[in-house]
Chain A
Amino acid sequence: MPNEILSRGVTRRTVLGGMAGVAALSIAGRVSAAAGGEAPALAQLVKDGKLPPLAERLPKKPMVVNPFEKVGTYGGSLRRGLRGSSDHNGILRMVGNQSLVRWNLEFTAVEPNLAERWEVSDDATQFTFHLIEGVRWSDGHPFTADDVVFAIEDCVKNTELYSSTPAQLAVAGKPVTVEKVDDYTVKFTFAAANALYLENLATPLGQHPTLFPKHYCSQFLPKYNPNIEADAKKAGVTSWTELFRSRCGDIEIPSRWGNVDKPTLDPWVVKEPYAGGATRVVMTRNPYFWQVDTEGNQLPYIDEINFGISQDVESLMLNVISGKIDIQERHISVLANKPTLSKNMEKGDYRLLTLVPSASQQCQIYFNITHKDPAMRKMFADKSFRQALSIGINRPELIDIVYFGQSEPYQAGPRPTHPWYNEKYARQFTEFDADKAGAMLDEAGYKKGGDGFRLRPDGQKVFFSIDVIPTLYPDLVDALELVKTHWAQIGIDMKVNTIERALYYTRGDDNAHDAQVWPGPGGLDPMLDPRDFFAFHPQGSRYAIPWTLWYTSNGARGEEPPESQKKRMKLFDEARSTADLDKRGAIMKQIFDIAAEEFETVGLCLAVGGFGIIRNNLRNVPEKEPDSWSWPNPGPALPQQFTFTS
């Protein structure tokens, strides 16, 4: 089966199957640090006595990164764009993915990162990580098992700081326990099996163990600093937790990039912070970065990253086409920009970067099966009603007009290249047949009224609205407008309800929507976001939010779901605790079979790939990469080995 990303001679299946094997492998190909080089600016600092020599800054056996194309040269400033507000993850994706483990380029297996190897107990409750010896924080302080224990035990498990433990670090309602075995070995113990932990650890939300340097962040905790309340007052904030957050940050908040003093393990460290009102963010190389290339040269190659902050995506586009951005996919990767970007390739001196969506569905329609109005609920819960509506959509026309022919009819489930692909789940009821749809609706009791539109058995006209956020997904508005005309032909009246995004969420949270649309995830990462396969996500599984609440609260809140849902919930919990990948796949396939049978969501077409640009003088960048939050592109492509040719 061909891999959508890059096969590089390894099929997805073998890598996935070999997960346990990977765990036992240590880092391949090590070289002595003494042979290596360093950036000229750092060499000068060493000469001036302002920085220890390279050999003292690197681990004895530094992690070796195989450059994507060639060994690079030092220097240059990489320019990228951020948006003015809440765009901190744009920085995270570029530099902040230094977790214990990381994804490989193909998004198929977990590779060593700060942990050079690990062991997993047979019941998947204990994970023992062996850290690379001699790694240092960006201020030169050693990174050891104490830091990991501190980050989890003192910070994340501090209930004043985190009123509940982040979901990744808790299983069966109990938080993980982290113990130090020796200076470079830590043991994570979960209350129950957590077979997915390594994969989760490779996602951005898995960065907690390496986020908080003990020697720096301990000064903001009452346990280590009795005067913390006074310090907080002096800093002008109301409580020590606020001080902690503004100084040490968290995975996903802007203040993570707002403190130039906080030591990190990233290839670049903040020089000009991402703060309110900033017009740019500048990051400069970390002199203690712990990775080298195959010739022993310390990474990163590039001196500096300069994130310009644009308020407006159009001015970002202008910068791109005039060659003022070196690599960018964030914010500009919508299909509508592709003609402009293709046309200006020569002028801007860049090439295009292809993004393979990890999502499954471009536009998933979620009819609210748990609608508050009993009549509407009955209608949406009627499987033949949903099936009729699905075959009443002319997908080829929609794909041609809205997606320039770059997609194919699709319902849900893993993408066609994924080993768990389920043909029935993906393709059923995608063929356009208005007559059959009409007949099915007739049979289900929705007869046509005088004006050509159908009536419910209670005599009311069949009418519902589908919520969509125009500012976020303009293409979904176009798609829905077409669907509206298709459905009008089979006598169904629908309103495309364009609303503001906060209202969209509030309506979903209150279970006040008829139907909503969203791109359906789970194409390449079905285990990480199964929201379309059963009622999993309290905000994302929009066809039955009350069921998700029931699931996530262990039955305390929400509404009890039907048997088929409960079965899938149980199966998923089982899959989550199954370490053996073949067995896990078998369980997931059962989930897909049931989901296909139940047909809860109506999909339009396979998620379309985005794209970006890379300046021609920027090398070592894979020109095709997954587009995903779990694989926070371009981070796992290792920007530290990106390099400029003159």
Chain B
Amino acid sequence: MTTAPQTTTPQTTAMKTAGRSRTAPGPRRVRLRGRIGRTLVYVSLVVASLVVVLPLAVVLLTSLKTSSEATDGGALSLPGNWLNFDNYATAFSDGQMLTAFGNTLFILLFSITGTVLIGSMTAYAIDRFHFRARKLVMALFLVATLVPGVTTQVATFQVVNSFGLFDTRWAPILLYMGTDIVSIYIFLQFIRGIPVSLDEAARLDGANSFTIYRKIIFPLLKPAVATVVIIKGITVYNDFYIPFLYMPSQELGTVSTALFRFKGPFGAHWENISAGAVLVIVPTLIAFLFLQRYIYNGFAQGATK
């Protein structure tokens, strides 16, 4: 984010143009066109922001309404009492959100740790060793990126089932760890930037490969670890498909599947469903506000690899 194009207000553009070129239109016309253009740009930005915010704001409003307010009033009517948190209490207890957050946290913890370890170890092995099957290993990982996870789910289900992992929290953990090729690429990219002379110096001091990985490479990978933790964290927190398929038990709900179950018992009680949705969105919002810069960078890096 360091090389952002520098300030180019229409005024300076106009002045530059006016001072230098003979063929450009007169300064006043340029300035007027610039100002109209600028206004249109702001209008488009405001419209886009409204499109993003409106559906979310309505859900927030609905979550604060009483049951009768939600059914009788219009979608955009305001709640009578802005501090009516009854729906949140209902959603939290009846929707078993506490268990859901617990399960999600458990899965997050293990799958993120696993992904970081596995990704960095793979990258270390592939980048720092020149063994015969290296090309083959690379090819295996590369080809795997081409296989979208959703397509193989029918067969993956049988594999998970045969291990007796169906309907346990280990099924999603293993799946998240095993199919994460993006993180391997992020680590590879970073490891390439670490000078090999560091490894060699340590080796002369008598360190073995594992010590080098643990004491030199891994600590230097911190920025990559941050990226992977963020991307993985958001993906796992939001994933619906895998927990839905592999953990059907009520008490094994994650935030996604627990929220999905609101469809049944709460039926048309939109005030409760909305409260549940807000409960799930708020942690993401908080994380986003605190980690904004890293999140943007993480996604830009993660997706282009």
Partners in one complex: no
